[in-house]
Amino acid sequence: MNQISTGSIHQLAAVYARVSTQQQEQEATIDSQIAELEKYAQEKGYGLSKEYYFLDQAVSGAQLARPALDRLRDLATEGLFETVLCLSPDRLSRQYAHQCLLMEELHRASVKVIFVNQPPVADNPQGQLLLGVQGLFSEYERAVIADRMRRGRLHRFRQGQLVNPVAPYGYRYILVSEPNGGCWEAHPLEQEAVRYIYTTYAEKGLPIGKITAALNENSAQMPSRCGYWRYSTVQAILKQPAYTGKTHYNRTRTGHDEVGQPKKSGRGVKHSPTRQPRPCEEWIPMNVPPLISEDLWQKAQERLETNRKFSLRNNNVHFYLLRSLLVCDVCGRTMTGRTWNGNVHYHCSSRREYRTPDVPAHSRSVAADTIEPLVWQAVTRLLQNPALLADAWESATPTASPSTEEQDRLQSRLKTLERQWQRLLDLFQDERIEKAELSKRKEIIEQERQSIQTRLQQFNRLAQQERVKQTMLEDFAAFCQKIKANLENPTPQLKQEVIRLLIDHVVVGENEIVIKHIVPTDDDCRLKPGRRVPETRSLHLAFLSGSMPQWFKKCSTYC
């Protein structure tokens, strides 16, 4: 136990501190609160342990649903500490009823609460309630019931006994009162509509607008919950991750901080609380019946991202070969194309009102007839020399392959550690070693075990990368051979298609450009061999007939 020495220690104490978002600048920070609490513990002789420091940062005191406070309440019932030190009552809660609830709950657990910045009060929550707070009894009772229901509901969600009662399209919620209730089941008609949407969008390449029209024509077989299919409804279905069989509860919380603040768009102030995202570690995973495969859902997300990046809805007049690919080297923003008197230039989009204070004032511009031939030359050079891909891969990934002897040695060491742990358990059961000694030796064994497992995982990744590399290179060489004839006199659209396949982005500097080619380094990529880029134009079908080596994310640099 990492315990802080405090002189003559009488009993172990826990520390609770909180800072809310809007008051962080005006009030004491977490560090200053901790310093004052530690000083008080030093003077009074309380023992402190780092594992019993419960800190809520950027969390409103008007709510009870706080991660650190929940942990404190859970551990208080286990008798691990006898006292809780807090700076003041408003750090514990902004609601008086919540304060009384917490004080009563800790009192039942034989835990004393000390507020450092106020005179000591009688350790009698009921007496404090009756002393001038009689009008708050009804609010207190409501807070108790609501909090019990919330914590009980979260517990049932964590145990897998419940799912979110608001089921997305494709599912229907079975009431808890029904047999095997409290879960989702696939809707007979709606699940077919979900599969139709994903299949036609991700595999057949049909646009969302045409999918919406087709659904409205066949509304009897694939009904909409509102009676009429809309573009936004289909788009929302394509973004729903629950269809793969995994969803989450407790992803957001109600935020009251912005009530009364001016609206970001429009006039007036906000009158209702907003939904704010919670940290990922607070999400509660839930298993539901899968409607589509993980691979199909991932294809849909890739096409949504591609369409978002290269959408033509903002440009229906001019053609820009490198649209959404050029990046400014100063601010990192995407450069936009402009046409003036028949001349095309790409400009940085970081205007004065959009530029952040840490980015210096700058102006970045490059003529299309200067940069476009250079980029196309780099692409054709890569297509005519597939060996360049292998060179780029070698420079981007480690080449040293693990030896079989080293892997066998590590596996043998893991078995030895397992035997050592079993022997320690036997000694502990025979009361030949104390619990403290057992914990100390366990920590040493676990550290070595984690180190070995990490090393073995690295070996597995290197071996997998080597296998993927060979497959990618063979597939890419075959692809280059097939399209060689198409590159003799390509159209601008064909050039753009090839550039988007092979280039991640181009960094434009003052006197140089850096082309970031897409080079695979593992098999956990968006684009894999045998899968097609989600495009539907006839150009793509004519150009990419056959297997295309598709890879993404890991890039090599050519200047």
Cα 154 to Cα 215: distance, rounded to the nearest angstrom: 37
Residue 252, amino acid: T
Q: What secondary structure letter does DSSP report for 199?
A: I
The proportion of the chain whose per-residue pLDDT surpasses 70, expressed as a percent, equals 70
Higher pLDDT, 376 or 467: 376
**Which segments of 5-45 are extended strands (E)?**
11-19
- Per the listing, tokens 């350790």 go with 123
Does residue 199 have a pLDDT over 50? yes
Q: Residue 237's pLDDT is what?
A: 92
E strand residue ranges, 66-174: 83-86, 112-115, 171-174
Q: What is the mean pLDDT of residues 68-75?
A: 89
* Average pLDDT value for residue range 194-212: 91
pLDDT at residue 181, as a whole number? 76
Segment 3-38, tens digit of pLDDT: 554 444 568 899 999 887 544 544 457 888 888 899
Q: Which of 234, 184, 232 is nearest to 206 (CA)?
A: 234
What pLDDT shows up at residue 13?
92
At position 453, the amino acid (one-letter code) is Q
Confidence bin at 305 (pLDDT 50/70/90): confident
* pLDDT range class, residue 218, cuts 50, 70, 90: confident
Predicted local distance difference test score (pLDDT) of residue 23: 47
Q: What one-letter code names the amino acid at 534?
A: P
pLDDT in tens, 478-487: 667 666 666 7
More confident residue, 359 or 198: 198
Contact 311, 324 (CB under 8 A): no
How large is the average pLDDT for residues 400-408? 71
Helix (H, G, I), strand (E, B) or coil at 51: strand
**Pairing state between β 11-19 and 83-86:** parallel
Residue carrying structure tokens 């097609």: 532
Residue with tokens 């990934």: 397
Residue that wins the pLDDT comparison between 64 and 529: 64
Burial degree of 202 (CB within 10 A; 0-12, 13-18, 19+): buried
Q: Output the pLDDT for position 198.
A: 94
End-to-end CA distance of the chain: 55
- Per-residue pLDDT at 126: 57
- Model pTM? 0.41
pLDDT category, 336, cuts 50, 70, 90? confident
What number is the average pLDDT over the span 542-548? 31
Nearest to 150 by CA among 253, 17, 76, 61: 253
Top pLDDT among 100 and 128 is at 100
pLDDT band at 200 (very low <50, low <70, confident <90, very high): very high
**C-alpha to C-alpha distances, 168 to 172, 185, 246, 274, nearest whole angstrom:** 8, 11, 13, 21
pLDDT of residue 406: 81
Residues ≥6 apart with Cβ < 8 Å to 487 = 380, 383, 498
**Nearest-CA neighbor of 450 among 414, 424, 406, 420?**
414
pLDDT of residue 494: 82
Helices 294-309 and 231-238, packing angle to 10 deg = 120
Mean pLDDT for the stretch of residues 88-97:
76
Question: Among the ranges 10-14, 233-237, 501-505, which has the highest mean pLDDT value?
Answer: 233-237
pLDDT at 170 over 80: yes
Nearest to 508 by CA among 339, 387, 330: 330
283: pLDDT confidence band, cut at 50, 70 and 90? confident
pLDDT score of 135 more than 50: no
Residue 97 exposure: Cα atoms within 13 Å on the Cβ side: 17
Residue 201 pLDDT class (50, 70, 90 cuts): very high
Q: How far apart are CA 151 and CA 64, in angstroms?
A: 10
Q: What is the pLDDT of residues 364-377, one digit of tens each?
A: 888 988 899 888 88
Give the residue, 122 or 93, on which the prediction is more confident.
93
Treating both helix axes as pointing N-terminal to C-terminal, what angle do 208-217 and 231-238 enclose, rounded to 10 degrees?
Answer: 110
**Which residue did the predictor score with more confidence, 43 or 152?**
43
Report the pLDDT value the prediction gives residue 426, as an integer from 0 to 100. 84
Q: What is the pLDDT of residue 393?
A: 60
Structure tokens at 496: 């753009």
CA pair distance 445, 422, nearest whole angstrom: 11
Task: State the Cα–Cα distance between residues 330 and 327, nearest whole angstrom.
Answer: 9
Question: pLDDT grade, residue 260 (50/70/90)?
Answer: low
* List of long-range contacts for 344-350, beta carbons under 8 Å, 24+ apart: 344/318, 344/320, 344/368, 344/369, 346/320, 346/322, 346/371, 346/508
Helices (DSSP H) in 484-558: which residue ranges?
Answer: 492-502, 538-543
Task: Give, to the nearest 10 degrees, the angle between helix 137-158 and helix 96-108.
Answer: 60
Q: 43-55 burial string, b = 16+ CB within 10 Å, else e?
A: ebebbbbeebbbb
Distance between CA atoms of residues 298 and 292, nearest Å: 10
Write down how long the chain is. Answer: 559
Q: What are the start-end ranges of the E strands in 208-295?
A: 246-249, 252-255, 274-277, 284-287
Average pLDDT over residues 375-402: 69
The band of 550, judged by pLDDT with boundaries at 50, 70 and 90, is very low
Assess whether pLDDT exceeds 50 at residue 315: yes
Rg (CA), the chain: 31
pLDDT above 50 (res 557): no
**In 424-498, beta strands by DSSP E:** none
Q: Is 558 in contact with 396 (CB distance < 8 Å)?
A: no
User: Other C-beta atoms within 10 Å of 84: how many?
Assistant: 22
Decide which of 337 and 98 is more confident. Answer: 337
In this model, does residue 240 exceed pLDDT 70? yes
- pLDDT > 70? residue 311: no
The Cα angle at residue 531 between residues 529 and 534, in degrees rounded to 5: 140
Cα–Cα separations (whole angstroms), residue 17 to 86, 106, 507: 6, 16, 46
* Position with higher pLDDT, 104 vs 28: 104
Tell me which of 2-6, 122-126, 288-292, 358-362 is least confident: 2-6
pLDDT at 238 over 80: yes
Tokens matching residue 440:
């100390």
Q: Read off the tokens for 211.
A: 């999918």
Whether the predicted pLDDT of 134 surpasses 60: no
Report the mean per-residue pLDDT for the chain: 75
What average pLDDT does the segment 215-226 reach? Answer: 85
Residue 332 to residue 329: CA distance in whole angstroms? 6
